[in-house]
Amino acid sequence: MRGKFGDDEEIKLEITMFDGYELCPKHDGDGEDVILRLSVLVSISKRDSSDDLEFVCSAWPDSFEVRHVYSLHRDRKLNRLPYLGPDIRELK
């Protein structure tokens, strides 16, 4: 899915089919339920020469979690590594 924000930002969403799960106890206490997860990649780019931002997220039935944030150079050459940043889950 693609969209625009304002005159100079482009936003792209890439969403997977269910690609992960967690087990949790059933509400009646008998056995376990499976909770499915979707992975979402949100890419934001501007028309100017600034770096692109990418957010790697997990979508659960009751929450949306940002797992990683990347700042990618516009040229995306293989010899330049993107800034990986900290693991968002470890930030307090």
* 87 found inside a domain: no
pLDDT at 79: 36
- Cα 81 from Cα 73, distance rounded (Å): 8
Q: Which domain holds residue 55?
A: 2-73
* 80 found inside a domain: no
Higher model confidence: residue 45 or residue 73?
45
Average pLDDT, rounded, for the chain: 80
- Cα 43 from Cα 69, distance rounded (Å): 10
- Cα 87 from Cα 69, distance rounded (Å): 8
* 78 found inside a domain: no
pLDDT above 50 for 78: no
* 85 found inside a domain: no
- Total domain count, the chain: 1
pLDDT above 60 for 9: yes
| Confidence (pTM) | 0.68
Q: What does the pLDDT look like over 46-56, one tens digit per residue?
A: 888 677 888 98
- Three-state SS string over the chain comes to CEEEECCCEEEEEEECCCCEEEEEECCCCCCEEEEEEEEEEEEEEECCCCCEEEEEEEEECCEEEEEEEEEECCCCCCCCCCECCCCHHHCC
* 7 found inside a domain: yes
